[in-house]
Structure 1
Amino acid sequence: MTQPLHPLKPGRRRFLGQGGRWLVTGVLMPLAQPALASLPGARSLSLDHTHTSERLALVYALGEQFVPQALSSLNHFLRDHYSGEAGLMDPHLFHLLHQIRQELRVQQPFQVISGYRSPATNNTLRTTRGGGVAKHSLHMDGKAIDVRLPGVPLADLRDAALALGMGGVGFYPREQFVHVDTGPVRRW
Protein backbone atom coordinates (compact mmCIF):
# COMPACT_ATOMS: atom_id res chain seq x y z
CA MET A 1 0.00 0.00 0.00
CA THR A 2 1.04 3.58 -0.46
CA GLN A 3 1.58 5.98 2.40
CA PRO A 4 0.36 9.59 2.32
CA LEU A 5 2.86 12.44 2.56
CA HIS A 6 0.31 15.04 3.69
CA PRO A 7 -3.48 15.29 3.77
CA LEU A 8 -4.90 15.32 0.26
CA LYS A 9 -5.54 18.68 -1.33
CA PRO A 10 -9.03 19.02 -2.87
CA GLY A 11 -7.74 19.79 -6.39
CA ARG A 12 -5.79 16.54 -6.51
CA ARG A 13 -8.33 14.15 -5.02
CA ARG A 14 -9.62 12.83 -8.33
CA PHE A 15 -6.14 12.24 -9.78
CA LEU A 16 -4.80 10.73 -6.59
CA GLY A 17 -7.84 8.57 -6.07
CA GLN A 18 -7.42 7.13 -9.55
CA GLY A 19 -3.61 7.05 -9.20
CA GLY A 20 -3.93 5.15 -5.92
CA ARG A 21 -6.22 2.61 -7.58
CA TRP A 22 -3.74 2.26 -10.46
CA LEU A 23 -0.90 1.69 -8.01
CA VAL A 24 -2.85 -0.88 -5.99
CA THR A 25 -4.01 -2.76 -9.08
CA GLY A 26 -0.50 -2.74 -10.49
CA VAL A 27 -1.23 -0.71 -13.61
CA LEU A 28 1.53 1.80 -12.87
CA MET A 29 3.98 -0.71 -11.44
CA PRO A 30 5.23 -1.98 -14.80
CA LEU A 31 5.77 1.57 -16.07
CA ALA A 32 9.39 2.55 -16.42
CA GLN A 33 10.71 5.34 -14.24
CA PRO A 34 10.75 7.81 -17.18
CA ALA A 35 7.01 7.22 -17.63
CA LEU A 36 6.39 7.81 -13.92
CA ALA A 37 8.50 10.97 -14.05
CA SER A 38 6.17 12.43 -16.68
CA LEU A 39 3.07 12.05 -14.49
CA PRO A 40 1.67 15.08 -12.63
CA GLY A 41 3.03 15.46 -9.11
CA ALA A 42 5.98 13.10 -9.59
CA ARG A 43 8.63 13.52 -6.88
CA SER A 44 12.07 12.20 -7.68
CA LEU A 45 15.48 11.66 -6.13
CA SER A 46 18.93 10.96 -7.50
CA LEU A 47 21.55 9.42 -5.24
CA ASP A 48 25.18 8.32 -5.57
CA HIS A 49 26.55 6.16 -2.75
CA THR A 50 30.14 7.03 -1.83
CA HIS A 51 30.88 3.60 -0.30
CA THR A 52 29.17 1.18 -2.70
CA SER A 53 29.62 3.26 -5.90
CA GLU A 54 25.96 2.55 -6.71
CA ARG A 55 23.72 5.14 -8.33
CA LEU A 56 19.96 5.44 -8.15
CA ALA A 57 17.52 7.85 -9.77
CA LEU A 58 13.80 7.26 -9.34
CA VAL A 59 10.35 8.66 -8.74
CA TYR A 60 9.55 7.88 -5.11
CA ALA A 61 6.10 9.50 -4.93
CA LEU A 62 3.22 10.52 -7.17
CA GLY A 63 1.32 13.43 -5.73
CA GLU A 64 0.79 12.58 -2.12
CA GLN A 65 1.35 8.83 -2.47
CA PHE A 66 4.63 6.96 -2.11
CA VAL A 67 5.51 4.41 -4.81
CA PRO A 68 6.02 1.05 -3.01
CA GLN A 69 8.60 -0.33 -5.48
CA ALA A 70 10.62 2.88 -5.16
CA LEU A 71 10.60 2.61 -1.37
CA SER A 72 11.92 -0.96 -1.64
CA SER A 73 14.68 0.20 -3.98
CA LEU A 74 15.60 3.04 -1.64
CA ASN A 75 15.65 0.71 1.39
CA HIS A 76 18.12 -1.54 -0.44
CA PHE A 77 20.22 1.33 -1.77
CA LEU A 78 20.53 2.93 1.69
CA ARG A 79 21.41 -0.35 3.42
CA ASP A 80 24.18 -0.55 6.03
CA HIS A 81 27.25 -0.53 3.77
CA TYR A 82 29.30 -2.35 6.43
CA SER A 83 27.00 -5.34 7.01
CA GLY A 84 24.75 -5.26 3.95
CA GLU A 85 21.69 -5.28 6.22
CA ALA A 86 18.77 -3.26 4.87
CA GLY A 87 16.41 -1.44 7.19
CA LEU A 88 13.12 0.32 6.64
CA MET A 89 13.81 3.95 5.82
CA ASP A 90 11.31 6.60 6.84
CA PRO A 91 9.70 7.65 3.54
CA HIS A 92 9.41 11.22 4.85
CA LEU A 93 13.22 11.37 4.76
CA PHE A 94 12.97 11.15 0.96
CA HIS A 95 10.52 14.04 0.96
CA LEU A 96 12.98 16.03 3.06
CA LEU A 97 15.77 15.38 0.55
CA HIS A 98 13.46 16.34 -2.32
CA GLN A 99 12.55 19.59 -0.54
CA ILE A 100 16.23 20.39 0.08
CA ARG A 101 16.98 20.04 -3.63
CA GLN A 102 14.04 22.30 -4.45
CA GLU A 103 15.16 24.85 -1.85
CA LEU A 104 18.63 24.90 -3.43
CA ARG A 105 17.24 24.77 -7.00
CA VAL A 106 19.62 21.98 -8.01
CA GLN A 107 19.18 18.70 -9.86
CA GLN A 108 22.46 16.89 -9.22
CA PRO A 109 22.42 13.68 -7.19
CA PHE A 110 23.05 13.67 -3.47
CA GLN A 111 26.22 11.87 -2.50
CA VAL A 112 25.25 9.48 0.30
CA ILE A 113 27.79 8.83 3.02
CA SER A 114 25.52 6.89 5.37
CA GLY A 115 21.87 5.83 5.37
CA TYR A 116 20.57 2.94 7.46
CA ARG A 117 22.92 1.69 10.15
CA SER A 118 22.37 -1.60 12.00
CA PRO A 119 22.60 -1.53 15.81
CA ALA A 120 25.78 -3.65 15.65
CA THR A 121 27.44 -1.31 13.15
CA ASN A 122 26.33 1.73 15.13
CA ASN A 123 27.84 0.29 18.32
CA THR A 124 31.12 -0.56 16.56
CA LEU A 125 31.39 2.94 15.09
CA ARG A 126 30.49 4.52 18.42
CA THR A 127 33.19 2.63 20.30
CA THR A 128 35.95 2.85 17.67
CA ARG A 129 35.60 6.33 16.18
CA GLY A 130 36.30 8.38 19.30
CA GLY A 131 32.80 9.85 19.54
CA GLY A 132 30.50 11.47 17.04
CA VAL A 133 28.14 8.50 16.78
CA ALA A 134 25.04 8.64 18.99
CA LYS A 135 24.16 5.60 21.09
CA HIS A 136 20.54 5.79 19.92
CA SER A 137 21.25 7.11 16.42
CA LEU A 138 18.27 7.78 14.15
CA HIS A 139 20.26 6.00 11.43
CA MET A 140 19.25 2.75 13.20
CA ASP A 141 15.59 3.72 12.82
CA GLY A 142 15.95 4.60 9.14
CA LYS A 143 15.22 8.24 9.94
CA ALA A 144 18.64 9.77 9.15
CA ILE A 145 21.01 10.18 6.24
CA ASP A 146 24.41 11.83 5.83
CA VAL A 147 24.81 13.59 2.47
CA ARG A 148 26.51 16.26 0.42
CA LEU A 149 25.71 17.83 -2.95
CA PRO A 150 28.60 18.27 -5.42
CA GLY A 151 29.03 21.91 -6.36
CA VAL A 152 26.94 23.14 -3.41
CA PRO A 153 28.85 24.61 -0.46
CA LEU A 154 28.27 22.46 2.61
CA ALA A 155 27.07 25.50 4.59
CA ASP A 156 24.41 26.18 1.91
CA LEU A 157 23.21 22.57 2.16
CA ARG A 158 23.02 22.89 5.95
CA ASP A 159 21.18 26.22 5.72
CA ALA A 160 18.62 24.82 3.25
CA ALA A 161 17.91 21.89 5.57
CA LEU A 162 17.59 24.22 8.57
CA ALA A 163 15.26 26.57 6.67
CA LEU A 164 12.82 23.72 6.08
CA GLY A 165 12.49 23.01 9.81
CA MET A 166 11.58 19.38 9.14
CA GLY A 167 13.97 17.56 11.51
CA GLY A 168 17.49 17.46 12.86
CA VAL A 169 20.46 18.91 11.02
CA GLY A 170 24.09 18.18 11.88
CA PHE A 171 26.97 20.02 10.23
CA TYR A 172 30.24 18.14 9.73
CA PRO A 173 32.57 20.37 7.67
CA ARG A 174 35.72 18.38 8.46
CA GLU A 175 34.09 15.14 7.28
CA GLN A 176 32.35 16.97 4.40
CA PHE A 177 28.72 16.01 5.01
CA VAL A 178 25.46 17.23 6.46
CA HIS A 179 23.30 14.93 8.58
CA VAL A 180 19.54 15.33 8.13
CA ASP A 181 16.85 13.36 9.90
CA THR A 182 13.11 13.24 10.47
CA GLY A 183 13.40 13.39 14.25
CA PRO A 184 12.68 16.47 16.38
CA VAL A 185 13.83 19.80 14.98
CA ARG A 186 17.31 20.53 16.34
CA ARG A 187 20.79 21.45 15.14
CA TRP A 188 24.40 20.75 15.99
Structure 2
Amino acid sequence: MTNTTLTRRAVLGAFAATTLTAAPTFSKAAGFLRGSGDIRRIKMYSGRTGERIDMIYWIEGKYIKDALKEVNHFMRDWRTNDVTSIDARTIDIMAAAHNLMDVSEPYMLLSGYRSPKTNAMLRSKSRGVAKNSLHMKGQAADLRLQSRSVTQMAKAAAICKAGGVGRYSSSNFVHMDCGPVRTWGR
Protein backbone atom coordinates (compact mmCIF):
# COMPACT_ATOMS: atom_id res chain seq x y z
CA MET A 1 0.00 0.00 0.00
CA THR A 2 1.45 3.36 -0.97
CA ASN A 3 1.62 6.48 1.15
CA THR A 4 -0.71 8.17 -1.35
CA THR A 5 -3.37 5.54 -0.64
CA LEU A 6 -3.07 6.03 3.10
CA THR A 7 -3.23 9.79 2.71
CA ARG A 8 -6.28 9.54 0.47
CA ARG A 9 -7.98 7.24 2.96
CA ALA A 10 -7.30 9.61 5.83
CA VAL A 11 -8.91 12.50 3.95
CA LEU A 12 -11.80 10.40 2.69
CA GLY A 13 -12.40 9.06 6.16
CA ALA A 14 -12.88 12.52 7.57
CA PHE A 15 -16.07 12.75 5.54
CA ALA A 16 -17.67 10.02 7.64
CA ALA A 17 -18.31 12.83 10.10
CA THR A 18 -21.64 13.88 8.65
CA THR A 19 -23.53 12.53 11.66
CA LEU A 20 -20.83 12.86 14.30
CA THR A 21 -19.71 15.84 16.32
CA ALA A 22 -16.23 16.80 17.45
CA ALA A 23 -15.13 18.90 20.38
CA PRO A 24 -12.45 21.48 19.60
CA THR A 25 -10.00 19.11 21.33
CA PHE A 26 -10.62 16.57 18.54
CA SER A 27 -11.12 13.77 21.09
CA LYS A 28 -13.40 11.99 18.59
CA ALA A 29 -11.01 12.26 15.64
CA ALA A 30 -10.65 8.48 15.30
CA GLY A 31 -14.36 8.27 14.47
CA PHE A 32 -13.89 10.79 11.71
CA LEU A 33 -11.15 8.76 10.10
CA ARG A 34 -13.24 5.58 9.59
CA GLY A 35 -15.25 4.80 6.48
CA SER A 36 -16.09 7.34 3.83
CA GLY A 37 -18.86 9.87 3.32
CA ASP A 38 -21.45 10.14 0.60
CA ILE A 39 -21.19 13.89 0.04
CA ARG A 40 -18.55 16.57 0.36
CA ARG A 41 -19.34 20.22 0.84
CA ILE A 42 -17.24 23.38 0.88
CA LYS A 43 -18.28 26.70 2.44
CA MET A 44 -16.20 29.85 2.03
CA TYR A 45 -16.41 33.57 1.61
CA SER A 46 -13.93 36.11 0.35
CA GLY A 47 -13.41 39.38 2.14
CA ARG A 48 -11.56 40.58 -0.96
CA THR A 49 -14.37 40.09 -3.49
CA GLY A 50 -17.43 39.80 -1.23
CA GLU A 51 -18.31 36.47 -2.88
CA ARG A 52 -19.62 33.42 -1.05
CA ILE A 53 -19.69 29.76 -1.95
CA ASP A 54 -21.59 26.96 -0.22
CA MET A 55 -21.87 23.86 -2.33
CA ILE A 56 -21.72 20.13 -2.54
CA TYR A 57 -18.85 19.31 -4.90
CA TRP A 58 -18.71 15.51 -4.55
CA ILE A 59 -21.52 12.92 -4.36
CA GLU A 60 -21.37 9.14 -4.20
CA GLY A 61 -17.73 8.85 -5.19
CA LYS A 62 -17.73 11.44 -7.99
CA TYR A 63 -16.71 15.05 -8.25
CA ILE A 64 -19.29 17.41 -9.73
CA LYS A 65 -17.50 19.16 -12.62
CA ASP A 66 -19.68 22.28 -12.58
CA ALA A 67 -19.18 22.67 -8.84
CA LEU A 68 -15.40 22.37 -9.23
CA LYS A 69 -15.52 25.04 -11.95
CA GLU A 70 -17.27 27.36 -9.48
CA VAL A 71 -14.64 26.61 -6.85
CA ASN A 72 -11.89 27.36 -9.41
CA HIS A 73 -13.49 30.74 -10.16
CA PHE A 74 -14.07 31.51 -6.48
CA MET A 75 -10.45 30.69 -5.55
CA ARG A 76 -9.00 32.71 -8.48
CA ASP A 77 -6.22 35.24 -8.10
CA TRP A 78 -8.37 38.23 -7.18
CA ARG A 79 -5.58 40.65 -8.03
CA THR A 80 -5.28 39.56 -11.69
CA ASN A 81 -8.59 37.70 -12.10
CA ASP A 82 -6.62 34.67 -13.40
CA VAL A 83 -8.31 31.30 -12.85
CA THR A 84 -6.74 27.85 -12.69
CA SER A 85 -7.92 24.38 -11.78
CA ILE A 86 -7.76 23.98 -8.03
CA ASP A 87 -6.48 20.55 -7.10
CA ALA A 88 -9.44 18.59 -5.72
CA ARG A 89 -7.17 17.13 -3.04
CA THR A 90 -6.77 20.61 -1.54
CA ILE A 91 -10.53 21.12 -1.53
CA ASP A 92 -10.91 17.70 0.13
CA ILE A 93 -8.41 18.61 2.87
CA MET A 94 -10.18 21.91 3.50
CA ALA A 95 -13.60 20.25 3.69
CA ALA A 96 -12.36 17.37 5.86
CA ALA A 97 -10.72 19.77 8.34
CA HIS A 98 -13.92 21.84 8.41
CA ASN A 99 -15.93 18.70 9.24
CA LEU A 100 -13.48 17.75 12.00
CA MET A 101 -13.94 21.15 13.64
CA ASP A 102 -17.74 20.78 13.65
CA VAL A 103 -18.39 24.37 12.57
CA SER A 104 -21.16 25.80 10.44
CA GLU A 105 -19.31 29.04 9.74
CA PRO A 106 -17.69 29.24 6.28
CA TYR A 107 -13.96 29.62 5.88
CA MET A 108 -12.70 33.08 5.02
CA LEU A 109 -10.46 32.55 1.98
CA LEU A 110 -7.44 34.82 2.15
CA SER A 111 -5.51 33.30 -0.73
CA GLY A 112 -6.20 30.47 -3.15
CA TYR A 113 -4.63 30.47 -6.61
CA ARG A 114 -1.83 32.98 -7.14
CA SER A 115 -0.56 33.87 -10.57
CA PRO A 116 3.24 33.94 -10.93
CA LYS A 117 2.99 37.74 -11.16
CA THR A 118 1.10 37.99 -7.86
CA ASN A 119 3.41 35.50 -6.15
CA ALA A 120 6.47 37.50 -7.27
CA MET A 121 4.93 40.73 -5.98
CA LEU A 122 4.08 39.15 -2.60
CA ARG A 123 7.51 37.55 -2.41
CA SER A 124 9.15 40.96 -2.93
CA LYS A 125 7.27 42.20 0.16
CA SER A 126 7.63 39.18 2.47
CA ARG A 127 10.19 36.48 3.16
CA GLY A 128 7.30 34.16 4.06
CA VAL A 129 6.23 33.66 0.42
CA ALA A 130 7.79 30.65 -1.30
CA LYS A 131 9.37 31.15 -4.73
CA ASN A 132 7.66 27.98 -6.02
CA SER A 133 4.52 28.32 -3.91
CA LEU A 134 1.88 25.61 -4.26
CA HIS A 135 -0.60 28.49 -4.56
CA MET A 136 0.71 28.95 -8.13
CA LYS A 137 -0.25 25.35 -8.93
CA GLY A 138 -3.75 25.63 -7.45
CA GLN A 139 -2.73 23.32 -4.64
CA ALA A 140 -2.96 25.58 -1.59
CA ALA A 141 -5.28 27.85 0.36
CA ASP A 142 -4.85 30.29 3.23
CA LEU A 143 -7.91 30.22 5.48
CA ARG A 144 -9.37 31.75 8.62
CA LEU A 145 -12.32 30.99 10.90
CA GLN A 146 -13.72 33.41 13.48
CA SER A 147 -14.89 30.62 15.78
CA ARG A 148 -11.70 28.55 15.83
CA SER A 149 -8.11 29.40 16.68
CA VAL A 150 -5.18 28.92 14.34
CA THR A 151 -4.10 26.05 16.59
CA GLN A 152 -7.49 24.32 16.31
CA MET A 153 -7.60 24.76 12.53
CA ALA A 154 -4.03 23.52 12.06
CA LYS A 155 -4.68 20.54 14.30
CA ALA A 156 -7.75 19.54 12.26
CA ALA A 157 -5.86 19.85 8.97
CA ALA A 158 -2.86 17.93 10.34
CA ILE A 159 -5.10 15.07 11.50
CA CYS A 160 -5.96 14.47 7.84
CA LYS A 161 -2.29 13.61 7.17
CA ALA A 162 -2.81 14.63 3.57
CA GLY A 163 -0.60 17.65 2.89
CA GLY A 164 1.13 20.68 4.29
CA VAL A 165 -0.23 22.69 7.20
CA GLY A 166 1.24 26.07 8.07
CA ARG A 167 0.31 28.00 11.20
CA TYR A 168 0.45 31.79 10.94
CA SER A 169 -0.76 32.81 14.38
CA SER A 170 0.38 36.44 14.16
CA SER A 171 -1.66 36.86 10.95
CA ASN A 172 -4.50 34.61 12.17
CA PHE A 173 -4.64 32.10 9.32
CA VAL A 174 -3.78 28.52 8.40
CA HIS A 175 -2.22 27.39 5.13
CA MET A 176 -3.50 24.03 3.81
CA ASP A 177 -2.08 22.31 0.75
CA CYS A 178 -2.00 18.90 -0.94
CA GLY A 179 1.80 18.75 -1.18
CA PRO A 180 3.99 16.52 0.98
CA VAL A 181 2.80 15.97 4.56
CA ARG A 182 4.56 18.54 6.76
CA THR A 183 3.82 21.24 9.34
CA TRP A 184 5.41 24.57 10.17
CA GLY A 185 4.81 27.83 12.01
CA ARG A 186 3.48 28.93 15.36
TM-score (norm. length: structure 1): 0.77
2:135 equivalent to 1:139? yes
1:116 is matched with which residue?
A: 113
Q: 2:94 aligns with which of 84, 87, 97?
A: 97
2:167 is matched with which residue?
A: 171
Quote the Cα distance in structure 2 between the aligned partners of 1:174 and 1:185. Answer: 23
Quote the Cα distance in structure 1 between the aligned partners of 2:127 and 2:87. Answer: 25
SS in 1 for 2:72: helix
- Matching residue's letter, 1:122: N
2:151 is matched with which residue?
A: 155
1:22-48: per-residue Cα shift (whole Å, max 9, x none)?
Answer: xxxxxxxxxxxxxxxxxx822111111
The offset of 1:158, in angstroms, is 0.7
SS in 1 for 2:142: strand
1:150-183: per-residue Cα shift (whole Å, max 9, x none)?
Answer: 2111110011111111100111111110000000
Runs of 4+ in 1 over 3 A off after TM superposition: none
SS in 1 for 2:171: coil
SS in 2 for 1:174: helix
TM-score (norm. length: structure 2): 0.77
2:62 equivalent to 1:65? yes
Quote the Cα distance in structure 2 between the aligned partners of 1:90 and 1:182. Answer: 8
Identity across the alignment (%): 36
Quote the Cα distance in structure 2 between the aligned partners of 1:156 and 1:163. Answer: 11
Quote the Cα distance in structure 1 between the aligned partners of 2:57 and 2:108. Answer: 17
Please say if residues 166 and 185 of structure 1, whose CA atoms lie closer than 8 Å, have aligned partners that are also in contact. Answer: yes
RMSD of Structure 2 on Structure 1 (CA): 1.4
1:93-115: per-residue Cα shift (whole Å, max 9, x none)?
Answer: 11111110111111210110000
Q: Size of the alignment, in residue pairs? A: 150
Please say if residues 51 and 81 of structure 1, whose CA atoms lie closer than 8 Å, have aligned partners that are also in contact. Answer: yes
2:72 is matched with which residue?
A: 75
1:53 is matched with which residue?
A: 50
Which runs of 5 or more structure 2 residues have no equivalent in the other structure? 1-7, 10-36
